[in-house]
Amino acid sequence: MSTQPYPLHFKPEFKERVWGGRALEKFGFDVPPGAIGEGWMIADHPNGVSHVTNGAFAGKGLDEIRESVGAEWFGTKGGGSGTGRFPLLIKLLDCNDDLSIQVHPNDHYGKLPKGELGKTEMWYVLDAKPDAKIIYGLKPGVDRAKMASAIEEGRIMDTLQEVSVKAGDTFYIPAGTVHALCAGVLVAEIQQNSDTTYRLYDYDRPGLDGKPRELHIEDSLNVTAYEGSGAARMTTDGAKPGEWLTLASSPYFKTDKGVVRGQWTLSTSEESFVILIVCEGSGSIGWPSGLVDAQAGDCFLLPANLGQYTLDGSMTVLRSLVP
């Protein structure tokens, strides 16, 4: 007998990072000791798998569920990533310190690690300290030669654009965009299911093991989009209750912001699962045979064959699917 579709709620897989902190505790998670930078909320990757907390699949990893339910649950478009795994990776990031200056390759880069994809991603800022900023792209006129010279001469920061951020800002980061989150921001990250990052600069600081972290200068220079990558940013204050505001559209994911005030009836399609990230507030997700509570920090995977569902309460959510 096949399992009836229902919204899957996940227990995050937490990752210690040299730039991490304790901010993910505010969502009520049981965060392990240490500098925890990443919660892999919905993950099906060799470096981390998230496990379901509710319903018939409680205790099972997303990798195991994917193999047992396949395209019926994940959709005709959402059923694969090119590696056979779940196509997206959903994270919450606590940036207690600056992240390394980095860039991601696209799917076609010849030196990708075996079995890996490129990485196009987006950030939605959940919280930010008053003076928080990020690194987002290159200054006009910076080409490969200028970037290589700046790295050689220890002045890479001169080539990068700094942008102030506040809660509700969103940033689309296609492969090839040089970027870095900086201290004092908490973000939701939606990305291709990839763990490939090339570091250009890491502030000459030691990693968790006390040794300098590896840099990938040649790969970084190779994959950077000097003419522009299509990166785009927006503020999302204009989101209206009961309407979706599109934040990012890529070949890999489409992400919208929704404000829930009372009941909002929606539906999945057979083409793709829906991922819901609760950014703030609380409420519930109802479907014909059940109801699950939802609060800030929760991430749900709604199967493509769930059909009609209802969001209720007072909360802000992000909805992501495979276009």
Residue ranges at the known binding site for Zn(2+)? 104, 121, 179
Tell me the CA end-to-end span of the chain in Å, nearest whole number.
Answer: 30
Instruction: Please name which of 191, 295, 186 lies closest in space to residue 252, comparing C-alpha atoms.
Output: 191
What span, in angstroms and rounded, lies between the C-alpha atoms of 67 and 79?
Answer: 10
Q: Tokens 């569902």, residue?
A: 309
User: Could you give the residue ranges of the DSSP H alpha helices within the chain?
Assistant: 62-69, 71-74, 144-152, 217-223
Cβ contacts of 50 within 8 Å, gap of 6 or more: 10, 11, 12, 13, 40, 41, 42, 43, 44, 61, 62
**At 39, phi and psi to the nearest 5?**
-110, 115
Q: Which residues are catalytic?
A: 199
Q: How far is CA 271 from CA 73, 108, 250, 293, 305, in A?
A: 10, 25, 16, 26, 9
Residue 201 neighbours by CB distance under 10 Å: 20
Q: Tokens 């699917």, residue?
A: 321
Summarize the annotated binding site as residue ranges: 104, 121, 179
Bridge partners, residue 128, by sequence: 185
The answer to whether the beta carbons of residues 322 and 273 sit under 8 Å apart is: yes
Instruction: Please name which of 275, 121, 277 lies closest in space to residue 196, comparing C-alpha atoms.
Output: 121
**At 146, phi and psi to the nearest 5?**
-65, -40
